[in-house]
Amino acid sequence: ALLSSSSSSVLLLLSSSLSPPSSVLSLSSSLSSLLLFYFIVLDELCGTNNVTYKNHCFLCVAIRDTQKRIKIKNHGSCKTGTTARTE
């Protein structure tokens, strides 16, 4: 690894032949499992756009995809409105 530093930026170059330590791979695998689990957990939320989301993760995906400021209106499904697609 080569580390070069200047007052305005830091450049870190790593050789492509280096493989990550097993602890990093294990952490990566654990995070993937956790994220998959989180998409499965049902904890419905109603957004300020009157759309019901399965859980907080789906709400965050909608915020990212639409670039809109959607907040949590209430926990549980929306009284009126639609349900978000989960495909």
Locate the domains of the chain by residue range: 29-75
Strand pairing partners for 83? Answer: 52
Tell me the pLDDT band of 80, cut-offs 50, 70 and 90.
confident
Tell me the pLDDT band of 63, cut-offs 50, 70 and 90.
very high
The listed CATH number (3.40.1190.20, 3.50.50.60, 3.30.60.30, 3.40.50.300) that belongs to domain 29-75: 3.30.60.30
pLDDT for 11: 38
Tell me the pLDDT band of 82, cut-offs 50, 70 and 90.
confident
CB 61 within 8 A of CB 30: no
